Structure 1
Amino acid sequence: MDLDAFTDLLTPRGGRALAEAGELTGADPVAAATTLRKTYDAALTSAALTQAALRERARAKFGQDAGVMYFTPHGLEQSTRTEVAEHRARRLLSLYDGTPHVMDACCGIGGDLLALARAGCAVTAVDTDPLTVAVARANAEALGLGDRVTVNAGDAAEVKPEAYDVLFADPARRTGRGRTFDPMAYSPPWPVVLGLLSRAGLACLKVAPGLPYEFIPEGAEAEWVSYKGEVKEATLWSGQNGDRRATLLPGGHTLTATGVQAPVGPAGRYLYEPDGAAIRAHLVGEVAELVGGRLLDPMIAYITADEATDTPWAARYEIEDILPFSLKRLRAILRERQIGNVTIKKRASAIDIERLRADLRLSGPNKAVIVLTRILDKPSVLLCKPL
C-alpha cells in the first residue's frame, strides 16, 4: 500500500470500499478481491483488503479502536499495545506538574501519541515516512483527537526537545534485514537518541526489553513492562535516580529495587517462577523476599519456598520430585505415573524442548510440569504439579 492508495481510502468512496472489505474478512482472498473489483479499481481493492486484514489483526492490541484505525504492517508490529501506552501516559503525567506539550520524535502509526492525547496532553509528532505520517494523522482524526495532535514528516535527529515540556521517543528497531537488537542500529541510532535526551527536560524512551544495561543512561530509571505474563518492552525515564522498576499489566502492580539479595538454599515444597519483567529488572531478590523464598542456584532465577504464597510476581508450582537429569529415568517416572500431558520449562539448560517431548513418548491421562535447570552446576529436572 502506497501513499496514494492510502489517501484514496480516506475519501467517501474509499471508506465504502473499506467497509465492504471488512465484511469480507475471513473469506477466500481471491473471491473477496473479485467481489470488490466489480465496483473498485485494483489499487483501491488491494488497499481496502489489506487495511481490513490489518484491522482484524490489530484488535489484539487496540481493542474496539482497531475497527476505525489505520495501519501499515510494520507500523502495527512495532506499535504499542493500548494498555501499555495508557500506563506510560499516566506515569508521564504523574512525573510532570501540569498538562505537558509532548514531542513524539518517532511516532509510527501513533499508538503512544493517541494515549498521550487521550490523557490530555498536546502532542507534536514526527516520523520520517510520509505514509506513516498520514496513517498517524488519520488515526488521531478517527478517534476524535485531531485537535490535540500535530503530525509532520521529519527526522527525529532534527527535533529540538528543549522547545517542549516532554520528549517521547520510540526509535525504530528494524533494518532492511528485519528486527534488530543492537541499539547502535536503531533509527535514529543510539548516540542521536542520547543527544536528544540530554537536551530534554523530561524524557521517556521506549526500547526493547533486552536492552543491555550498559546502554542505560546514567541517572535514568529503567522500567520493564509485562502484559499478561509476557515482557513487552522497557521504558527509560530521565532524571529518576537510576532506579529499576518492573510493572505488571493489566493489574498495575509495580516492584522497585531495594537491593535485597536472595539467599541460596535447598528445595522446599514450592517452586516460584518470577515474571519476566522482574527478571529483566534484576528484582529476583525482591520477589524471593515477597514469598519468603531462596534460590535453588545463585545464577538462575528459580525460587523455592516451604510455604505457598500468592503473588502476581511469580507462577507457583508444587515440587513432587527433583532428580539429576536422565532421559531414561524421567521417561520411566512419567510412564509409571501415567503422565501424558506435560508443560516443559527450562532455564540454563541446552536441552531442546521439542526433541525431549518426542523422546519422552508420553502416554496417559495425567498432567505435570517439567522444569529443566541446573542446581549448583548440576543438570537437574524438577517434576512439579501445576497449580
Structure 2
Amino acid sequence: MQLSELTALLTPEGLRLLDGVGPIDSTDAVARAVTRLRAAGHSPDLVSAVVGQARLRAKAVAKFGGFAERMLFTRAGLEQATRLGVAARHAGRMRAAGITGVADLGCGIGGDALAFAGAGLEVHAVDADEVTAAIAAYNLAPFGGDVTVQQGTAEEFADTHLGRGLDSSEEAAHLRDAPTAVWLDPARRTAGHSETRRVAASDYSPALDWAFALAERVPTGIKLGPGHDRNALPTGSEAQWVSADGSVVELVLWSGPLAREGVRRAAMVIRGDETHELTAPADAEDAEVRALGAYVHEPDGAVIRARLIGDLAREHDAGMLDPHIAYLTSDAPLDSPFAASFRVREVLPVQPKAISAALKKADIGRLEIKKRGVDIDPAAFRKKLALRGSREATLILARIGDARHAILADRA
C-alpha cells in the first residue's frame, strides 16, 4: 500500500466505503468491485486501497478471526504477522512472569501488540516504516491510552528508553528485573508492503547480534523462523518452537524471567483451543532404533525442531525407525498430542506398479502421501498410482537403513 492510498482510505468516506464493500475473496470479485467503485466516481487511490484492504481482510480471518473485519493490513505485514491465538499465548507468558508492559519493537501491523494489549499489558509499539506504523496505530486505537504507536527503529527506542551502553552491572540487573519486557520480530524479508523476499540471517533488521545483546539485559521474546540455524542460538535463552494446527509457525527465544527455570528446549503444540507442551533442559538423546512394529508414529514438527523426539519415544516405549529419520515405531498407537499414529497394513517396494496393485486390492481411492529420507516428489508420484477405490489410507515413503520402503497404513 502506498502512502497516498492510505491517506485516501483513512477518511470517514474511505472507511465507510471499506465497511460497505465487505470481504472480497476472489479475483473475479476484485474486478467487479473495482469496476463498480470507479463507476461510482471514486478516485483511483481510494478504489485501490478499499479493494486491496477488502481482499486482505478476507485472507486475514485465518490469523485474526473476527478481528480481521475491523483491521487494516499490508500484504507483507499480514504474511509475517503472528496468528492471534499464538500471540495470546505469548502474552499469557508475559503476564505469568509478572510483566506489566511490553515494548513491541518492529510491531508490523500490530498483530502481537493486539494480543499484548488484550491481555492487559501496557504496550509501546514501534515500526520503522511510516505506512506500517500508521496501520498499526489504526489497529490498536481501540485500546486508547494503554497503547502508544510511533515510527522509529528498534535501536532508537532502546537507546532512549532502555538505557545505552549499560556498563553498570547494577543498571543491567535493574533492567532484567523490570516489569517491562521487549518483544522483537526482526524483519526477515526485504522492505516493502507487497512483494518481498527472504534475506539471510546476517541481514535481519534489527541485527541479531544486537537483539541477543539486548535480551541479556532486558526480559525479551525474539520471534524467528522455525528453521533458524540452531548453532546460532544464544545458549542462555529458552528456545520454544510453536506448532499451530499441524504447521510449525515460529521459534521464540525467551530471556530473563520470561525463560523458565531449567527449560532450554520446548515444543508448544496448539490444536484448536488446546495447548500442549513438551519441555527439556537440553536436546534429548535419540531413542534406540527398533524394527518396524505394528505402528509408525510421526512426531509433530515442533517436537522435531526442538529435538525432543527421544524423550517422546521413551515416554511411550517407542523406538526410532532409522537413526536419521524422524519416524518412530512401536506395537501400540501413541495417545499423545505430540505425534500422529498410523497402523501398518503392509510394506511394499517403492514401485508404482506394486503399490497400485495393493491399493486396488484394498479398494483405496484417496491416498495421503508422506515421505522422509527419500528423493521423491509426492505429487508426481501420486500421478503414477491407480486410485479408483472408495476407501482411504496413508502411504509413508521412508528410507530405513540403506533401503527405501513404502509403508501402507491407516491413521490410528
Shorter-chain TM-score: which interval? over 0.9
Q: How many residues align?
A: 382
Match of 1:355 in 2: 380
Deviations 1:8-55 (A, max 9, x none): 322211122212322776564333223223142221121111111111
* CA distance 1:181–1:220, shift in 2 (3 Å): farther
* CA distance 1:25–1:324, shift in 2 (3 Å): closer
SS of structure 1 residue aligned to 2:37 = helix
Between 247-256 and 21-30, the greater mean CA deviation after superposition: 21-30
Please tell me the residue identity of whatever aligns with 1:231: V
Distance 1:23 1:322 in 2: 48
Please tell me the residue identity of whatever aligns with 2:66: Q
* CA distance 1:232–1:24, shift in 2 (3 Å): closer
Q: CA deviation at 1:324?
A: 4.1
**8 Å contact from structure 1 (residues 369, 383) kept in 2:** yes
Distance 1:23 1:379 in 2: 48
1:128 equivalent in alignment to 2:125:
no
SS of structure 1 residue aligned to 2:315 = helix
Match of 1:208 in 2: 225
Match of 1:72 in 2: 74
Between 376-385 and 184-193, the greater mean CA deviation after superposition: 184-193
Match of 1:18 in 2: 18
| Structure 1 unpaired stretches of 5+ | none
Match of 1:227 in 2: 244
1:308 equivalent in alignment to 2:310:
no
Between 352-361 and 243-252, the greater mean CA deviation after superposition: 352-361
Match of 2:208 in 1: 190
Match of 1:30 in 2: 31
SS of structure 2 residue aligned to 1:175 = coil
Match of 2:171 in 1: none
Correspondence list, 1:235-246, <5 A: 235-239=252-256, 240=259, 243-246=264-267
User: Which one of 344, 354, 361 corresponds to residue 336 of structure 1?
Assistant: 361
SS of structure 2 residue aligned to 1:135 = helix
Q: Identity percentage over the alignment?
A: 40
* CA distance 1:41–1:314, shift in 2 (3 Å): same
Deviations 1:219-265 (A, max 9, x none): 10000111111111110001435610011114111101264541211
**8 Å contact from structure 2 (residues 4, 45) kept in 1:** no
1:253 equivalent in alignment to 2:271:
no
Between 32-41 and 117-126, the greater mean CA deviation after superposition: 32-41
1:171 equivalent in alignment to 2:186:
yes
**8 Å contact from structure 2 (residues 349, 355) kept in 1:** no
Q: CA deviation at 1:291?
A: 2.5
Distance 1:23 1:285 in 2: 46
SS of structure 2 residue aligned to 1:219 = coil
| Structure 2 unpaired stretches of 5+ | 164-177
Please tell me the residue identity of whatever aligns with 2:248: V
Please tell me the residue identity of whatever aligns with 1:290: E
**8 Å contact from structure 1 (residues 223, 235) kept in 2:** yes
SS of structure 1 residue aligned to 2:144 = coil
What is the TM-score with the length of structure 1 in the denominator? Answer: 0.93
SS of structure 1 residue aligned to 2:92 = helix
For the aligned residues, what is the CA RMSD? 2.0
Match of 1:162 in 2: 162
Between 36-45 and 156-165, the greater mean CA deviation after superposition: 156-165
Distance 2:25 2:394 in 1: 39
Distance 2:277 2:385 in 1: 40
Deviations 1:75-133 (A, max 9, x none): 111111000000111112222x2x42211111000011111111111111211100000
Between 257-266 and 151-160, the greater mean CA deviation after superposition: 257-266
Distance 1:180 1:28 in 2: 30
Match of 1:375 in 2: 400
Please tell me the residue identity of whatever aligns with 2:78: L
Match of 2:50 in 1: 48
Q: CA deviation at 1:155?
A: 1.4
**8 Å contact from structure 2 (residues 263, 279) kept in 1:** no
Please tell me the residue identity of whatever aligns with 1:3: L
